[in-house]
Structure 1
């Protein structure tokens, strides 16, 4: 699962935010990958990063990130794309061959903008290669934004990587992105204002109370429901305080432990939430265990480190007394 969205503040700061919803305990934590770091690919020789970046991930023999922003202000997040993602079954000599979960490392370490990604997308061949920790090939698609505020989706439902324009700035999971856009046609009646009273013969029908305009807004945790709910909230939320607005929207799609159980008995829940200020290169991380939001600025000191850095965080729920 997972939900992602972009948001532009009233003073033109651009953000990407996401929930990480998963049944397997990923133990994601803040990670900085510096410039000129040679990371090991599963299918071919190591590759050196042109750009440094910060995101959420782990060291699994090599670093694996699920999201991040690089020093050029390009941000990306991967989300589950069950029954839709299609990958190559073989390595291609004229391509950069990557396991699907390595695409983020390549993008953040190599690409400065969506315009450059368009030019270089044909260099990449995603090959069916499993994540060692999970023991299977994750079906993934990706949401990407940059300092211009443009947002795109990258999907491989056709077997080749395709960039799709994202005019609503939201992405969830399957089906493919175009289906979600068409599905919005079913929710044209949603509005922030109450519906007007209506006469039926001599009887006047009126709303029960405030919020009648949101009648029919989906409330479940399926991918289509979360997509519609997030598009509606994003389109209307006050962007004066963009970071606060992002987390308020994410609150509406954050999954508590115990309410969403998979067929294998594992508990799918929001393990963390992250937000990226692509304008100011700032990373915000909120783990499931507490309400704190941890902040990290991608500065020159971090970018010039010799090795990646993982950051620990306080996992205890805290309260603050009133004075």
Structure 2
């Protein structure tokens, strides 16, 4: 039940992480040269880029929920059940990744969204269990200095497209979310992005109050374009408005952390909802201080 909003002109990405982990999420740094192995394969990767992001660890293996690398590209995963279409067989000539391995590969081996997009046909994201013996269907929001994009597993392939609406949630797909947003705003489902942005920025309709992914997408789109956030403070305020509290009604699917990533500064602010603490670090400073050793900030 995660929600993401981006501010392209300021290169800011804000998100809530609502996915229930079996191990805790913490802000984590991985240096250049960090070696890792995707689940269920014998292939070993050696990261070309340093990473800073929200991660959890299982038996020494890191699952990256989101992060920024040392070229200023960021990726965030969101839950994509039912809609995700993963092949069950690795395509010939490609490397296998589980959905949980995708961000590590994307951020560790690529400098830009265009470079990542050009490499998507080199991997097969396959429906296999990760190191915690779980299967997780994801789709991903990707951002660099050129804008906001999404990558979705549709039709047995990873499909990348621009996301100028600058918001993202869980299932359904971006196209279906956009069509439902159009209906809510009284526009035809074939409305262009420009028409949707104009309608969202001028609508007199109240914000949806429900918490499902379609309602959160609609709320996020209206908030993004009716009173566009201009800085991290405004982005934090939006994240608080979509945070799911840990209550008996939300014993599992609740917000574990909020995050704001400044891509230009390569700064990550991690708000742990369990402890109430905010941990902030700059990737470049960590690279200088810890050139070879991962660091986990608890």
Quick check: TM above 0.5? yes
Within the candidate set 230, 233, 236, 2:226 is matched to 236
Offset at residue 123 of structure 1 (A): 0.8
1:277 matched to which residue of 2?
262
Shift in Å at residue 25 of structure 1? 4.7
CA change 1:94–1:310 in 2 (3 A) is same
SS in 1 for 2:18: strand
Matched-pair contact (CA < 8 Å) for 1:4–1:17: yes
Give distance in 1, aligned partners of 2:282 and 2:36. 22
C-alpha separation between the residues in 1 aligned to 2:236 and 2:124?
A: 35
Report the Cα offset of residue 291 of structure 1: 4.8
CA drift of 1:14 comes to: 0.5
Aligned residue in 2 for 1:6 = 6
SS of aligned partner of 1:22: coil
Deviation at 1:268, TM superposition (A): 1.2
Deviation at 1:127, TM superposition (A): 1.4
- What's the C-alpha RMSD, in Å, of the aligned pairs? 2.0
Alignment deviations for residues 195-238 of structure 1 (CA, whole Å, 9 cap, x no partner): 9xxxxxxxxxxxxxxxxx343x2111100000000011111335
Are 1:260 and 1:268, in contact at CA under 8 Å, matched by a contact in 2?
no
Report if aligned partners of 1:7, 1:15 keep a CA contact under 8 Å in 2: yes
Of 294-303 and 14-23, the range deviating more from structure 2: 294-303
Quickly say closer, same or farther: Cα 1:26–1:214, change in 2 above 3 A. farther
Cα deviation, 1:64-117, whole Å, max 9, x if unaligned, reads 111000000000000000101121212344112111100000011011111112
- The structure richer in helix per residue is 2
SS of equivalent to 1:156: strand
Q: Which residue of 1 aligns with 2:57?
A: 59
| 8 Å contact kept, 1:54–1:68 | yes
Q: Does 1:307 align with 2:293?
A: yes
Give the Cα separation in 1 of the matches to 2:67 and 2:200: 33
TM-score between both structures, scaled by the size of structure 2 = 0.88
Q: In structure 2, how many angstroms separate the alpha carbons of the residues matched to 1:191 and 1:228? A: 9
SS at match of 2:292: coil
The answer to whether 1:250 aligns with 2:247 is no
| C-alpha spacing 1:144/1:25, structure 2 compared with 1 (3 Å) | same
In structure 1, C-alpha distance between the alignment counterparts of 2:297 and 2:96, rounded to whole Å: 30
- The separation in 1 between residues aligned to 2:263 and 2:106, in whole angstroms, is 15
**Secondary structure at the counterpart of residue 139 of structure 2:** strand
Residue 18 (1) aligns with residue 15 (2):
yes
- 1:125 pairs with 2:111: no
Alignment counterpart, residue 176 of structure 1, candidates 173, 177, 182: 173
Q: Is the 8 A contact 1:191 1:214 kept in 2?
A: no
1:300 shift after superposition: 5.1
Shift of 1:192: 7.2
8 Å CA contact 1:4, 1:18 repeated in 2: yes
Q: Which has the larger radius of gyration?
A: 1
TM-aligned CA deviation for residue 118 of structure 1: 2.0
8 Å Cα contact 2:71/2:112 also seen in 1: yes
Alignment of 1:1-323 (within 5 A): 1-8=1-8, 12-42=9-39, 43-60=41-58, 61-133=60-132, 135-148=133-146, 150-188=147-185, 213-215=204-206, 217-240=207-230, 242-258=231-247, 260-261=249-250, 266-289=251-274, 291-299=276-284, 301-302=286-287, 305-312=291-298
- How many residue pairs align between the two structures? 283
User: CA distance change for structure 1 residues 138 and 119 in 2, over 3 Å: closer, same or farther?
Assistant: same
| Matched residue SS, 1:72 | coil
CA distance in 1, matches of 2:131, 2:247: 27
Structure 1 stretch displaced more, 270-279 or 291-300: 291-300
Segment of structure 1 superposing worse, 35-44 or 303-312: 303-312
- How many Å apart are 1:45 and its aligned residue? 1.8
5+ long unaligned stretches in structure 2: 187-198
Partners in 2 of 1:184 and 1:174 — Cα distance?
Answer: 14
